[in-house]
Structure 1
């Protein structure tokens, strides 16, 4: 065979391969675009948790350094998280919701081993047929605060990179995704014939090739991600489906003093996008306080449900039933037992109230109050009111507010600390709607 004939034959073979590959890719792409729903049925139940801030036991010896962290952890329970999560998982396996959704801050400060161990716990759910969906929070990716606590020292520990997050949590959302955003850790899921769920990465963190930094509190829906979001919402609207959105940061200011860094930097733009495509419900976390709020945006009622942190009392979680156009949300509390603590729910409640009391004591002593009796009364008052707010029990009448303001603790605060009084005034009453339940029709 001559060289020319050989070249022609090789060229023909290569062309044939290219044609076959082209046909395969073309039809493969069509197959990928044919969207399969996660469920065939209309009635589904899912649970929503936020901000568990899980830290694995291997990262602490419960020494001096860890005790200091616990004192500055804003009331988080960090000693028995594995046992608490196991009890929660056992409950889920028994009650069998279709899904568990976690809206960010999966780890305390982005420790890779914490993510891996939490994933091991969550695998028990997927092994039993319960789908798990997660998104990162501002403490999860390339967090320069990731630490191991040894004696009186803090040691740096391996962080969760972007690539790590995709790998560790591959079975918790990403495997069921119908679309991925290439510029973030966002993805969408076709739940059934009526609903799509949109899981958004709203965090600001360094790329894997960049130096790690302290976590950025604020968040945004980045430009390329916003385009992808609009594409997903448009597609759902064309299919006459409703989209429910999940992200870490808030779209509304749920408290006048807890908005900077907690509300999306581009919330106004994002809310208009959601309203344009008639998104009815948004779930978020981040502020650690249970709250439900509805605003009318461009003549569209948009509701945001913020889940309190699962790392603090009362370990609230949302139980949601979607059935056709009916939406039913009820906040539940993880009132379970663990062998290490006689009354775990009361233990974590006291832990959180004590943190509020420390806040009151510090602010009042800094303001110059030295009367120990008054300090005790006012600090106890702060602890109790703080707990009511974060657990979502602050939707009260004006008469109840007046009774609270007549208490000695409030009077002491009003006389001694403007900062503390302003804070208490901001959390004492929620006037818009109940924070622990919501029923509405979404169509």
Structure 2
């Protein structure tokens, strides 16, 4: 009798476990999002990951490279990538978007190592979509850094990029462009992603003519079916900064912008300039995402309601290497600012105030910290720049930041 009771008890427990699995689903299973009103996006850009297999941190050639660095924490790439993975799993977005420049300078081994980590994110039930950056395919400065001179390592063709990154958009694409690595990904029955490749040898920093025709046709189809489309591209669709847009915005951005607007696209996600900034033009918004490898190591969380054509954007940081990233980011700026200030200002105390102000305002501008920019716009140090260096590059650059702040 006791044996029968135990068997019944075990059978009941087993049935309860099966029921829980059916109701809750497996941990790594992708969600059914067709009935969702709001879709949660996690977006980042410009990882610039360099495999540790490709450099010696003590090598003179690597030290020279880092002395000319633009603020990227290259040696912390593995930690940044691992932390990004953990944040993605914690945030549980409906999709993770990487807006290009995944590798440092187009090294195949770097791309493969990133792919391994992205696989862990997908295994957690989070779809990952990627696009190419100008540093990812056909990049000429693809090198190793040992000893006194750079070496050679295997670079990435567009074919190799699609093969290594196949699981992250390409293999599951609804449509793929035959003339580039552009594709359409259907997240659900109400929302598509138009992922654009603007890095082909035949059309660098632009969308090629045949691809323009392709995207126009696919957007027309989406519009006819009542499907909303979000565009993802490495280069900016809209001009983000009047002081530094050449080479960052698409060369044929006006044509691309016209096509997107004609089909009711209202949101674009980009990167490339390492600047956290948002531009708006007649109902079209382009959110430029700062490099995840540069201070303050941040990513975006965007809640999108396709039916209402609305979105809410929030910036979050990885929560690591804050001081290290600020110091690295400031080094490059410090050299340029110091040279201009020393040329025009004799008083050491005034010099120090002006330099510190420029570093803080530049960091706030690139990280999209509006509150800090507003506070600094009222600081007395701004008048020092106007008095001593108003016509210099940095004087005009600071004026431009204030002007943008007032307009927005």
Q: TM-score range by the shorter chain?
A: 0.7 to 0.9
SS of 1:140 mapped into structure 2: coil
Contact 1:147 1:157 in 2 (8 A): yes
- Equivalent position of 1:387 in the other structure: 363
Alignment of 1:37-436 (within 5 A): 39-42=33-36, 43-63=38-58, 64-205=60-201, 219-296=205-282, 301-323=283-305, 324-325=307-308, 327-337=310-320, 344-364=321-341, 367=343, 373-394=349-370, 401-403=377-379, 406=382, 408=384, 411-414=387-390, 418-431=392-405
CA RMSD in angstroms comes to 2.5
Contact 1:359 1:379 in 2 (8 A): no
Contact 1:381 1:409 in 2 (8 A): no
SS of 1:80 mapped into structure 2: helix
In structure 2, list runs of 5 or more residues that go unmatched. Answer: 1-30
SS of 1:70 mapped into structure 2: helix
* TM-score calculated relative to the size of structure 1: 0.78
SS of 2:185 mapped into structure 1: strand
Contact 1:38 1:190 in 2 (8 A): no
Contact 2:174 2:185 in 1 (8 A): yes
Pair 387,57 (structure 1): closer, same or farther in 2 beyond 3 Å: same
* TM-score calculated relative to the size of structure 2: 0.85
Deviation of residue 363 (structure 1)? 3.9
Pair 404,134 (structure 1): closer, same or farther in 2 beyond 3 Å: farther
Deviation of residue 386 (structure 1)? 0.8
Pair 163,400 (structure 1): closer, same or farther in 2 beyond 3 Å: closer
Q: Return the alpha-carbon distance in structure 2 between the equivalents of residues 433 and 49 of structure 1.
A: 26
Pair 433,48 (structure 1): closer, same or farther in 2 beyond 3 Å: farther
Could you give the per-residue CA deviations for residues 64-103 of structure 1, whole angstroms, max 9, x where no partner exists? 2222222222111111110121112112112311211011
Pair 150,428 (structure 1): closer, same or farther in 2 beyond 3 Å: farther
Deviation of residue 373 (structure 1)? 5.0
Deviation of residue 286 (structure 1)? 1.0
Alignment of 1:16-27 (within 5 A): none
Q: Return the alpha-carbon distance in structure 1 between the equivalents of residues 56 and 279 of structure 2.
A: 41
Q: Return the alpha-carbon distance in structure 2 between the equivalents of residues 397 and 79 of structure 1.
A: 30
Contact 1:48 1:317 in 2 (8 A): yes
Deviation of residue 183 (structure 1)? 0.2
Contact 1:187 1:200 in 2 (8 A): yes
SS of 2:207 mapped into structure 1: coil
Pair 379,157 (structure 1): closer, same or farther in 2 beyond 3 Å: farther
Q: Return the alpha-carbon distance in structure 2 between the equivalents of residues 61 and 139 of structure 1.
A: 21
Could you give the per-residue CA deviations for residues 219-255 of structure 1, whole angstroms, max 9, x where no partner exists? 1111000011001101101101111101011122211
In structure 1, list runs of 5 or more residues that go unmatched. Answer: 1-36, 207-215, 338-343, 435-443
Q: Return the alpha-carbon distance in structure 2 between the equivalents of residues 126 and 119 of structure 1.
A: 10
SS of 1:283 mapped into structure 2: strand
Which structure carries more helix by proportion? Answer: 2
Contact 1:314 1:349 in 2 (8 A): yes
Q: What is the number of equivalent residue pairs in this alignment?
A: 375
Deviation of residue 44 (structure 1)? 2.5
Pair 228,409 (structure 1): closer, same or farther in 2 beyond 3 Å: same
Pair 407,176 (structure 1): closer, same or farther in 2 beyond 3 Å: same
